[in-house]
Amino acid sequence: MISEAKKTAVENALRITFGVSEFEDISEITQGLSPALIFKIMVKGKPYLLRIITQMNAMNAPTHWYNCMTAAAEIGIAPRVWYTSVEDRICITDFVEAKPFPLNLVRVKMPALLSRLHSLPPFPNRINYLETMDGFVQKFRDSETLPDILAAELFEKYDQIKRVYPSNDSDLVSCHNDLKPENILFDGERPWLVDWEAAFLNDRYTDLAVIANFAVTNDVEEKEYLRIYFGEDANEYQLARFYLMRQLLHFFYFTFFGLICFNANEPVDFTLPCPNFREFNNQMWLGGINLANNDARQEYARAHFGQVIYNLKQKRFADSLKILAGLKER
């Protein structure tokens, strides 16, 4: 199961870490979209996770990945790191036997975890997240996939958010930036974050909004979620910024996946009912939807589209814009 090219490196890792040259059992883990080879191995009767990076690019440099992962492990929000080798692109960590993570517990445990993550010493500032995601929005905008009237209305609202949302904020924190369900392992008592290749300095509301789009369904839940994160009730500015970040994520995911899935030669009928966002995300959380499937990606894009169309018509959208605009003018 381990390639010949990596066998010696793996044997060396086992020898250094555990004093043995081979494992007792191995099984490949194929869940998720990571190109890395991931295995559950048994050593001295205990399970561990062996990860072998197979593809290198600017965003998955092992030095950066391992440093962020190790920092998170040291404060108990990532599994313990037993071995890393930048040269061999291998790491061994504790294996977490994942159990169902009910959303009522997500709303309590994840904001507490994110508060700890965001308190870590700053990760490297690798990219400007908002500018990068805006590039996908503009590319989708230029594709003229949407009918003209709908596109004009939708992207005007997006521009309104851009005009007031802080884009060069000095309040950037260490973020995970890839909080999809398969990267959150719940052991029955506490959640652990894995797959740290996308970690970098970012807007705290990004991580917060990603989890909230799965778990927070009403104003009461939102206020409690943010109270746990901040350690006190969220103020007007924090509530407004959080709300607008959730809308930005709808735009980002709709346009990103739309660029991948919508065929320019086969116009998409945007008059058809969109998948219910809450139902779709609930299925994703339970592992019932695989975004490696192109049809699922298209439905995911349309679910975000339907939700943002609805949200932009709400009074809270206009109120949130006014709150941030008022602070920006000071």
Does residue 45 sit in the same domain as residue 177? no
For residue 32, the enclosing domain spans: 4-94
Q: At what angle do helices 236-261 and 148-164 cross, to 10 degrees?
A: 140
Burial class (CB in 10 A: 0-12, 13-18, 19+), 58: exposed
Point out the domain boundary residue: 60, 77, 94: 94
74: its two tokens: 């040291």
Does residue 24 sit in the same domain as residue 45? yes
| pLDDT band at residue 261 using 50, 70 and 90 as cut-offs | confident
H-assigned helices in 173-329? 204-215, 219-230, 236-261, 277-285, 294-311, 315-329
Does residue 107 sit in the same domain as residue 212? yes
Q: What is the mean pLDDT of residues 25-37?
A: 79
Residue 194: pLDDT above 70?
A: yes
Calculate the dihedral angle through the C-alpha atoms of 174, 177, 182, 185, rounding to the nearest 10 degrees. 20
Task: Look at 64-68, 249-253, 265-269, 290-294 and tell me which has the smallest mean pLDDT.
Answer: 265-269
pLDDT value of residue 330: 46
pLDDT value of residue 319: 97
Angle CA 199–276–273, to nearest 5: 125
Strand pairing class (37-43; 25-28): antiparallel
Report pTM: 0.93
Say if residues 165 and 244 touch (Cβ distance below 8 Å): yes
Does residue 86 sit in the same domain as residue 110? no
Does residue 199 sit in the same domain as residue 294? yes
Calculate the dihedral angle through the C-alpha atoms of 36, 42, 46, 51, rounding to the nearest 10 degrees. -10
Say if residues 71 and 121 touch (Cβ distance below 8 Å): yes
Task: Look at 79-88, 165-174, 239-248 and tell me which has the smallest mean pLDDT.
Answer: 165-174
CATH of the domain at 142: 3.90.1200.10
pLDDT digits (tens, 9 = 90+) for 131-180: 999 999 999 999 888 888 999 999 999 999 999 999 877 789 999 999 99
CATH of the domain at 41: 3.30.200.20
pLDDT value of residue 30: 78
Number of domains in the chain: 2
Point out the domain boundary residue: 94, 118, 142: 94
Nearest to 182 by CA among 287, 41, 86: 287
212: its two tokens: 């909230």
**pLDDT, mean over the chain:** 92
138: its two tokens: 């503009």
Does residue 223 sit in the same domain as residue 251? yes
Does residue 245 sit in the same domain as residue 316? yes
Q: What is the mean pLDDT of residues 228-256?
A: 97
Nearest to 28 by CA among 5, 4, 49: 49
Point out the domain boundary residue: 51, 66, 94: 94
pLDDT value of residue 262: 84
**What percent of the chain stands above pLDDT 90?**
81
Does residue 65 sit in the same domain as residue 110? no
Give the whole-angstrom CA distance, residue 51 versus residue 313.
45
Does residue 112 sit in the same domain as residue 236? yes
Contacts for 162 with CB less than 8 Å, ≥ 6 apart: 134
Does residue 193 sit in the same domain as residue 59? no
How many Å from the N-terminal Cα to the C-terminal Cα in the chain?
61
* H or E element at residue 65: helix 62-74
b/e burial code for range 297-312 (CB count within 10 A of at least 16 → b)? bbbbbbbbbbbbbebb
Residue 56: pLDDT above 80?
A: no
Say if residues 117 and 175 touch (Cβ distance below 8 Å): yes
Strand pairing class (184-186; 90-94): unpaired
**Residue 275 carries which DSSP code?**
P
Does residue 42 sit in the same domain as residue 116? no
Does residue 58 sit in the same domain as residue 176? no
